[in-house]
Amino acid sequence: MTETVKGNDPGERGAQPEEVIRVEGLAKDFRPGFGLVRKRVLHGITFSVRRGEVFGFVGPNGAGKTTTLKVLMGLIHPQEGRATILGHDIRESAFRRHIGFLPENPYFYDYLTGREFLDFYARVSGVTKADRPARIERLLDDVGLTHAGSERLRGYSKGMLQRIGIAQAIVHDPEIVFLDEPMSGLDPIGRKEIRDLILRLNAEGKTIFMNTHILSDVEMVCHRVAILVKGRIRWVGGAADFREADGGGADVVLSRVPPDIVAAMEDAFGTGFRGQGDRIEVRVPEKRLPDLLRLSLDGGAEVVSVTPHRQSLESLFVDTVHDAEALDPTAVEESR
Amino acid sequence: MISPGRVSAIASNTFREAVRNRVLYALLFFGVLLIGVGIVVSSLSYVEGDRILQSVGLSSLRLFGAAIAIFVGVGLIHKEVDRRTIYTILSKPVSRTEFLLGKYLGLLVTIWLQVAIMAAAFVVVSLATGAPLDGGHAAAIGLAGIELAVVVAVATLFSSFTTPMLASLFTAGFYVVGHVTRDLRELGAASESAWVQQGTWLLHRALPDLESFNLTVQAIHQLEIRPDQVLLPLLYGVLTIGVLMAAASVIFERRDFR
Ligand SMILES: Nc1ncnc2c1ncn2[C@@H]1O[C@H](COP(=O)(O)OP(=O)(O)O)[C@@H](O)[C@H]1O
Ligand SMILES: [Mg+2]
């Protein structure tokens, strides 16, 4: 899973990328049941998303990703903080012609056909009557559902629903597309289709905000990532940052290393040195890899393998979640 | 700004969904049946056969219209929230008020269509039995339609914040109370107690008086109906609907959809 991020790279666009989503100190309480007890699920989160990027909002189940997205979509009202999208306060509704949204596990009117469904969303999005038919055919084609356009959604598979759901989100050609767990519950082929669709939309210049807990997908499509744990943002960074979080080092496996060379290596690479005799593993930072290889080859050792070693998002994620739990075992606290 | 295009898109989708509801057809069936049964009832009576026929017919129309409004209407908003279809709609440039208005109008068109079907049955039965038909009957049916528009607004108001179960109970309660406040007030006025007098007066003033939309008696007795007997209830109905929908909109704006 080391495929590089495709699509356009917003980092290379210019000095100051425009922040199209800004979230400042957002806090949300839920009242489970009817009591007065409030449970805080978002603890003043702050982050921003730049124009043109695929932004991954990542976290374990129950972290508050969907809640954050619902606040951004104006579906629930936050207790504290504010957020703007394309410079508009999220309480407004007119700017929503520039954004699209695919909810988590969406349900759609299953008595409508694919075409009727898209026509309905095109109408409420303000697509003119003249533009609608062509727009809908293009969308059906884009998401690979032309053949199913006259079929009722009741007969759609989960993957087809997810694709018509994305079509619904982009029916009015928005600048930003918000996707909540777009790949969960799909088989590998379905996931690849969605992934390709996301990359294609991004290549067309759309900013993508994506909630997910599937890390391999994040590594493949996201430019930047924020890790949310129990309602708090614990890490924000570029995809390149976590790929090279510890200097892009490598694990080198050697065999038939002469004893004097072993000693020299132990001196030079002490902490990353493991094994003995016929098989020795050395972990080195990228900078020192040439030194190690020169020493080994000059000394007559055999290089079995060199594995570039990256901190995966997964290990970063696991570490972050662990740290967060160690720091704050009651992150989801009862208040008031 | 409320956009007619968006509201009508939601209204037509609401209509499509409402006419798929089987409860609607069951109620419509019994409504039409009762209008037809009027023939049998009236034939048993030698005097005033026409009046019994038409009284049963108009009452069935009003009652079953209200039943459809209550049982079909209260579920529609809840369903959109429950199935989360509202998420995608509100993420579009659709305000919550537009959504609510679209739901209201879609439901209203559904109910009015049912009224039209029952009215047609009423006309057929009247013609078949040779009962008189004139503008009075049209006025009575027209005002019944206005009354139902008020009931639909009440159903929309309740379903903007509560479950279909409670919303249907509240709306049904409202409907019954709306028809008795006038009688209560008259009873109360005859009471010795000033408390009862003022209480029943207040109740009648505070709640919509649904009897003001009832022209059944005038229609079946062929009494003259003055224009103000139609126009005033019409104005009253429109204002009441405005107030109910404004309240529903305020409540709905504040709601969390989760
Ligand atoms: N409707 C709700 N009522 C009460 N608590 C809720 C509700 N929805 C979510 N929560 C709680 O809020 C927290 C965050 O949920 P959510 O945003 O759905 O997480 P995620 O999308 O990251 O899995 C969870 O602890 C969840 O139990
Ligand atoms: Mg979620």
Q: Where are the domains of chain B?
A: 4-179+214-254
What's the mean pLDDT in A161-175?
94
pLDDT at A312: 66
Chain B residue numbers with beta carbons less than 8 Å from the beta carbon of A168 are: 88
Query: What pTM, to 2 d.p., does this model score?
Result: 0.83
Query: Mean pLDDT, to the nearest integer, of B207-227?
Result: 85
Q: How many CB pairs under 8 A join A and B?
A: 84
Tell me which of A28, A36, A38, A39 to substitute to probe ligand 1's pocket, judged by most ligand atoms within 8 Å of the beta carbon.
A39
Q: Does A70 touch chain B (CB under 8 A)?
A: yes
pLDDT score recorded for residue A336: 33
Mean pLDDT value of segment A151-174: 93
Residue A24 forms beta bridges with which residues?
A: A82
In this structure, which amino acid lies at residue B243?
V
Overall average pLDDT of the B64-84 stretch: 88
- For the four alpha carbons of B32, B38, B39 and B41, in that order, the dihedral sign comes to positive
More confident residue, A271 or A304: A304
Mean pLDDT (whole number) for A3-22 = 60
Q: What is the pLDDT of residue B194?
A: 83
- End-to-end, the C-alpha distance of chain B in Å comes to 26
Q: Which of A30, A107, A111 sits opposite B84 (nearest CB)?
A: A107
Contact B10, B102 (CB under 8 A): yes
Is the dihedral angle over the CA atoms A262, A264, A266, A272 positive or is it negative? negative
pLDDT at residue A277 in the model: 63
Q: What is the mean pLDDT of chain B?
A: 89
Task: Characterize the bridge pairing of strands A207-212 and A54-58.
Answer: parallel
Query: Considering CB atoms only, which of A105, A109, A125 is closest to B93?
Result: A125
Model confidence over A22-76: pLDDT tens digits?
Answer: 999 999 999 877 777 888 999 999 999 999 999 999 998 899 999 999 999 999 9
Say how many CA atoms lie within 13 Å of A225 toward its Cβ: 31
Residues A21, A81 contacting (CB under 8 angstroms): no
A95: chain B residues, CB-CB within 8 Å: 93
Q: Which residues of B touch A106 (CB under 8 A)?
A: 84, 87-88
**A254 DSSP β-pair partners:** A280, A303
pLDDT greater than 70 at residue B191? yes
Q: What is the pLDDT of residues A91-107, one digit of tens each?
A: 988 899 999 999 998 88
Ligand 1 binding pocket (C-beta < 6 A) is A 30, 32, 41, 59, 61-67, 332; B 258
Q: Whose CA is nearest to atom 26 of ligand 1?
A: A62
Strand partners, A211: A57, A180
Who wins on pLDDT, A313 or B36?
Answer: B36
> Which comes out higher in pLDDT, residue A2 or B71?
B71
**3-class DSSP assignment, residue A178:** strand
Task: Give the type of residue at B19.
Answer: V
Mean pLDDT of B3-31: 91
pLDDT digit string, tens, across residues B25-37 = 999 999 999 888 8
Give yes or no for residue A243 having a pLDDT over 70. no
Average pLDDT, chain A: 84
Tokens of A111: 């008595």
Task: Quote the pLDDT of residue B218.
Answer: 86
| pLDDT computed for residue A154 by the predictor | 93
**8 Å CB contact between B152 and B18:** no
- The answer on pLDDT for A213 being more than 90 is no
Q: Give the burial string for B212-228 (b: 16+ CB within 10 Å, else e).
A: bbbbbebbbeeeebeee
User: Looking at residue A115, what is its pLDDT?
Assistant: 95
pLDDT band at A333 (very low <50, low <70, confident <90, very high): very low
Q: What element of type H or E holds A227?
A: strand A224-229
Choose the closest CB to B13 out of A107, A120, A126: A120
Contacts of A186 (CB under 8 A, 6+ apart): A158, A159, A162, A194
What confidence tier does A9 reach under pLDDT thresholds 50, 70, 90? very low
Beta carbons of A207 and A177 less than 8 angstroms apart: yes
* Inter-chain residue contact A102 with B88, CB threshold 8 Å: yes
- Residue nearest atom 18 of ligand 1, based on CA coordinates: A66
Q: Output the pLDDT for position B252.
A: 94
Query: What confidence score (pLDDT) does residue A328 get?
Result: 54
- Return d(Cα B151, Cα B68) in angstroms, integer: 10
Q: What ipTM does this complex have?
A: 0.87
pLDDT higher than threshold 90 for residue A84: yes
Q: Is A40 helix (H, G, I), strand (E, B) or coil?
A: strand
**Partners of A212 in beta bridges:** A58
Q: In three state form, how does the secondary structure of chain B look? A: CCCHHHHHHHHHHHHHHHCCCHHHHHHHHHHHHHHHHHHHHHHHCCCCHHHHHHHHHHHHHHHHHHHHHHHHHHHHHHHHHHCCHHHHHHCCCCCHHHHHHHHHHHHHHHHHHHHHHHHHHHHHHHHHHCCCCCHHHHHHHHHHHHHHHHHHHHHHHHHCCCCHHHHHHHHHHHHHHHHHHHHHHHHHHCCCCHHHHHHHHHHHHHCCCHHHHCCHHHHHCCCCCCHHHHHHHHHHHHHHHHHHHHHHHHHHHHCCCC
Average pLDDT of span B212-216: 87
Confidence of residue A246 (pLDDT cuts 50, 70, 90): low
Tokens standing for residue A135? 């727009």
